[in-house]
Structure 1
Amino acid sequence: MTTANTLTIKLVRSPIGCRADHRATVRGLGLRKINSVSVLQDTPAVRGMINKISYLLQVI
């Protein structure tokens, strides 16, 4: 993986109390606990997932 084609995301808010599909999106991005970090390929699907739950995430 090259750094130009990756996104690093961090879970900064808890998905507790969020909609079930938003919790599933958090899990789909590979995030479990608050402050967990995931490095993912920069694809349109991943960008859509990040956009959907942007209020829970920080893109580093």
Structure 2
Amino acid sequence: MATIVVKQIGSPIRRPAIQRETLKGLGLNKMNRTRELEDTPSIRGMVAKIPHLVTIIEEKS
């Protein structure tokens, strides 16, 4: 199973509620936190919606 490591690089302060909820859905809530998540189309879509708040730092296959 492929995974990606996602790091939060931006603050959700003064962002729309949907962007804050997307961060929570990814399991992120504080600056510089990282999460290892499954590489699925839904996760990729969530990351694509908030590219200014998160970055993919590693892709594992």
Report the TM-score when normalising by structure 2. Answer: 0.89
Segments ≥4 residues shifted beyond 2 Å: none
Q: CA deviation at 1:17?
A: 0.7
Partner of 2:34: 37
1:15 partnered with 2:16: no
More helix by share: 1
Identity %: 44
More strand by share: 2
Per the alignment, residue 6 of structure 1 pairs with 3
- Structure with the bigger RCO (C-alpha within 8 Å, sep 6+) is 2
Distance 2:50 2:16 in 1: 10
RMSD: 0.8
The Cα of 1:38 is off from its aligned counterpart by: 0.5
**Corresponding residue of 2:45:** 48
* Offset, 1:32: 1.4
Runs of 5+ unmatched residues, structure 1:
none
Matched residue SS, 1:49: helix
**Under a length normalisation based on structure 1, what TM-score does the superposition of the two structures give?**
0.90
